Amino acid sequence: MPRNREAVQSSAVSSYRWFRAGDLNAFFALMFDNVANLVILAGILIGVFHFPKEIVLYRMVPGTAIGVLIGDLIYAWMAGQLARKSGRDDVTAMPLGLNAPSVFGMSFAVVGPSYLITHDAMLAWKTGMAVTVLVGVFKVALSFCGNAVRSMVPRAALLGSIGGAGIALIGVLPLLKIFADPIPGLLALSVLLVTLVGKRRLPWGLPGALVSALVGIAAFYLLRWAHFTSPLLARSSAQMAALHLSFPWPSLAFLGGLSTAWAYLPIALPFALSTVVGGIDNTESAAAAGDEYDTRCILLTEGFCTLAAGLCGGVVESTPYIGHPAFKRMGAGAGYAILTGLFIGIGGIVGVLPFFVDWIPASAIAPVLVYIGLEVIAQAFLATPRRHGLAVAISLLPSFAFLISLETNSVLSALGAHADQIPGQVGETLRTVNLLGNGFIIAAILWGAATAELIDRRFRASTLYLLTGAVFCLFGVIHSPTAEGTFVLPWRAESSLPWHLAAAYLVAALTIAVSKFVTSPGAEDVAAV
């Protein structure tokens, strides 16, 4: 019997088709998703923060692409191993790519602000590298206890916090790109919604993401040729990126930014935590579709390729993508992951990828991210228990505060002003919004978790989350009083805000702790209803 099983498995390996017809459609869908993230990353850093184009396109992009190359090739190899182990020929590789929320988190909250503060592009880049390396180490370590972390924190808090980032950062911000150039932007968005939401099948089975991007790009350049470009678009006379060989070898250059990187970890680590939880969920989703991958190997690969990207100059983490069942329905095997990894990785090295990133208009590719943002926020509500809807809702709020502070601070910076210089009620509002937005992901997790535990009448657990918030306030992990949102030592802070905020969280924690003993059974019954 064992010999027969070995014979079946050996036959499966020899007959496993690494490339099949369905891999083409899956490749375009996964590849354009990754390119969209790189386009937005370059657009934010170059267009918003005026980061030197050469560093973004020829150092950050190739280094970031290395993580995708390594991760997708490992996932393709794992598919072949699973085919040999299971004796099946229909195994589909796990998809991997750049984490969209991290693109906005790293550009708007780490690399961009670091450049504005230091006016040193190389230091800001190395800071981004160092944060990515630390995130990679964190994810590798967490891969051994991913299931424990997932079981400790209520799902409403994890999905709600990342859902808030999804709707604010990868929903609203790309939407601004669409309406800055509305004709190609809304045209591309409508094609995407018709195919992905309306479930309309395109001729020849073309993927909606590919057609949406191509239609938007064609409309953009046709309007430019006709001299009918949007009045809102920023005019640029910069030349297009040229083909340029860039070999992102691993190095210790990140050590130059390590001293400044620690302050940004409260922003970066929650994104990493969410990708680990998402990796567990995606592994379970693949198992439901018939492909039983080892969770630890999936998470280890995710952490390793993020670490590799940081060492090679990248500034965005990689993660397994949602959608394995969809790729399986397309008839994909492992070939689409191989093609995506090679296109993104080698394209970054030989300069093709930077050329595409610079050539593709943001308005044509932003709809893909808007759709992802909508899916993230929808998942936050649909994948959590219905009774925890309020916990999801409250965990969204800090992300909107961060979005408002991000935009207002950009305006003030352009005018050469600062929130501390604005007098009266307006200045107070701006400073409060900044305070609420600093450390928004961790604050969202704490708020959502405390609320979810309170809904379930686990008063002690709810109290512990708020007590944690009190400690975090003291050291600027959340609600940092500094303009940059960095850590502080309460006894060295320029104001007494850390003490006031810690006291506020402590009062809230004591209120919940005491309420268990002062509420009547009747009140509990009403609350439960």
- Express each pLDDT in 229-251 by its tens digit: 887 776 554 555 556 667 788 88
Taking the CA of residue 158 as centre, how many other CA atoms within 13 Å lie in the half-sphere pointing to its CB? 21
CB 138 within 8 A of CB 269: yes
Residue 275: other Cβ atoms inside 10 A: 26
Q: Which range has the worst mean pLDDT, 234-248, 251-265, 298-312, 472-486?
A: 234-248
Taking the CA of residue 447 as centre, how many other CA atoms within 13 Å lie in the half-sphere pointing to its CB? 24
Residue type, 524: E
Band of pLDDT at residue 149, cut at 50, 70 and 90: low
Kindly provide the b/e burial profile for residues 36-53, where b requires at least 16 CB atoms within 10 angstroms of the residue's own CB: bbbbbbbbbbbeebebbb
Question: Chain-centre distance of CA 393, in angstroms?
Answer: 19
pLDDT for the residue numbered 136: 94
357 has pLDDT over 90: no
pLDDT for the residue numbered 234: 63
pTM for the whole structure:
0.73
8 has pLDDT over 60: no
Residue 467: other Cβ atoms inside 10 A: 20
Domain ranges in the chain are 2-232+251-384, 393-528
Element housing 307 (H / E)? helix 295-311
Q: How does pLDDT run across 71-106, given as a tens digit for each residue?
A: 999 999 999 999 988 888 889 999 898 887 788 788
What average pLDDT score do residues 405-411 get? 80
7 has pLDDT over 70: no
Q: Which range has the worst mean pLDDT, 171-180, 430-439, 480-489?
A: 480-489
What average pLDDT score do residues 22-49 get? 82
pLDDT more than 90, % of the chain: 31
Taking the CA of residue 521 as centre, how many other CA atoms within 13 Å lie in the half-sphere pointing to its CB? 0
CB 125 within 8 A of CB 55: yes
pLDDT for the residue numbered 522: 52
Band of pLDDT at residue 356, cut at 50, 70 and 90: confident
How far is residue 426's CA from residue 281's CA, in Å, rounded to a whole number? 43
Band of pLDDT at residue 116, cut at 50, 70 and 90: confident
| Token couple for 360 | 């593709």
Q: What is the mean pLDDT of the chain?
A: 83
| Token couple for 8 | 């079946």
How far is residue 486's CA from residue 499's CA, in Å, rounded to a whole number? 16
Of 369, 474, 514, 380, the residue nearest 39 (C-alpha) = 369
| Token couple for 345 | 């990785």
pLDDT more than 70, % of the chain: 89
How far is residue 163's CA from residue 102's CA, in Å, rounded to a whole number? 13
526 has pLDDT over 50: no
CA dihedral 429, 435, 437, 440 (to 10 degrees): -150
What average pLDDT score do residues 485-507 get? 87
pLDDT for the residue numbered 63: 93
What average pLDDT score do residues 130-138 get? 94
3-state secondary structure 207-235: CHHHHHHHHHHHHHHHHHHCCCCCCCCCC
| Token couple for 27 | 């490749």
